[in-house]
Chain A
Amino acid sequence: MRLAFIALALTVSAPLAQAASQPDPAADMKAFQGYFLKQFPKLPLAAYVNGPYNFSKSESDQWKQIMEFPPYQFAVDDGKKLFETKFPDGKTYASCFPNGGIGIAQNYPMFDAKTGKVVTLGIAINRCRVANGQKKLKLTVGPLADISAYMTSTSDGKPINVVIPHNPKALAAYEAGKEYFYTRRGQLNFSCASCHVQAAGMHLRGDVLSPALGLTAAFPLYRSSWGDMGTLVRRFIGCNQKVKSEPSKPDSTAYRDLAYFMTYMDNGLPESGPGARP
């Protein structure tokens, strides 16, 4: 079985062609998704949300077992309680979001024309807290991951729908995220694409490297190696550290833009967070 996976993986060769000079997110997305669909012709688009499980029989068997009692269920339950608990001013999180925060996670990250910045779901949750006189929560783990897990669970299966408006700042944010993704960094000099495009589906020691397509779709997720839930920025920090590069701050512009680019590439895939990984 392993052999078949190796053969699949070996067909991946050159990384994606780099940008044309004029930002064209829609064309980039088409090329990005097309690249992977061509590399792994047996994998339908929607399957990419399952990341490493597409490439390893043993891991997907393990996954089926794990999913009988999804390890993120506690987070969803705790998150729901937190989401519905009133702030001292009597309002709840629902007051800060369209549709009361239900079934909208697939639209994040979002560009906020007022601040000219990208807002991830986590940052929107913190904004809501600040608007209601509360302290910000950590963006990587803990209650904020739980609230995100609950909100994301109400979007289960909805197509990811990140919008890049015709606004120079939105386009610049998208381009910055894209550049971050393809830039080599750290003592080991890897880009995100080195592992998740060039080596997608191959084994880095015991880990199967998930293709870049679908990478954001199952967040927040429970990782057995973490022993708890983590958000997408938690993973960014982990992958930066792997190659001995300096991670950015969880709420940094760099990570917001990176999430904007990566999630836009996943447009059309079914929202499938919260997820579980080995």
Chain B
Amino acid sequence: MKTIITVVALGLLSSVAAAGVAAAATPAEIAAGEKLATTTDQGNCDACHMFKGADEAGNIGPELKDVKSMVPNRKEFYAIIYDEEARNPQTIMPAFGKNQVLTPKQINEVIDFMYTK
């Protein structure tokens, strides 16, 4: 019983923390995320995904719009960018975190930016 309570409490804490991060996204973080998402040898998201403001975007992955309802859970979004192969071994979306293309901080900035789309 006691353990369960702790787990629940922890869970609550982390979701509060995650929400806190989202709420705290500064214009600077969002701008950093945009740069990463559109820079060829970094996030390069627009090579495969269309999103508003992307220039010459590809169409290998789904269009990223209304991203908050597409991936409402920030942790899940982080996991998709960190290593989409874990969810879908066949995917061609690169594992940006696992393969050290993006740092955790950079992944969070990309998320901050994408949540404005």
Q: What residues make up the interface of A, taking CB atoms closer than 8 Å to B?
A: 6, 9, 14-15, 187-190, 194-195, 198-199, 202-206, 209
Contact of A204 (CB < 8 Å), options: B58, B85, B94, B100? B58
Contact between A204 and B90 (Cβ–Cβ < 8 Å)?
A: no
Interface size on B, residues (CB 8 A): 16
Q: Which residues of A are found within 8 Å of B103, using beta-carbon distances?
A: none
**B57 in contact (CB, < 8 A):** yes
Known A189-B94, A194-B92, A205-B47; contact A199-B60, beta-carbon cutoff 8 A: yes
> What residues of chain B lie closer than 8 Å to A194, measured between beta carbons?
92
* Residue positions of B touching A, CB distance < 8 A: 46-48, 56-60, 85, 90, 92, 94-95, 99-101
Instruction: Determine whether the beta carbon of B95 is less than 8 Å from that of A189.
Output: yes
Q: A187-B99, A205-B47 are in contact. Are A6 and B59 (CB under 8 A)?
A: yes
CB of A14 within 8 A of CB of B60, answer no
Complex contact A203–B59 (CB within 8 A): yes
Q: Which residue of A lies closest to B54 (CB)?
A: A205
Residues of B within 8 A of A204 (CB): 47-48, 58, 60
Is B92 in contact with A198, judged by CB distance below 8 angstroms? Answer: yes
What B residues does A9 contact at CB under 8 A?
59
Chain B residues with Cβ below 8 Å from A209 are: 60
Closest to A13 in B: B90
Given contacts A204-B47, A205-B46, contact A189 B60 (CB under 8 A): no
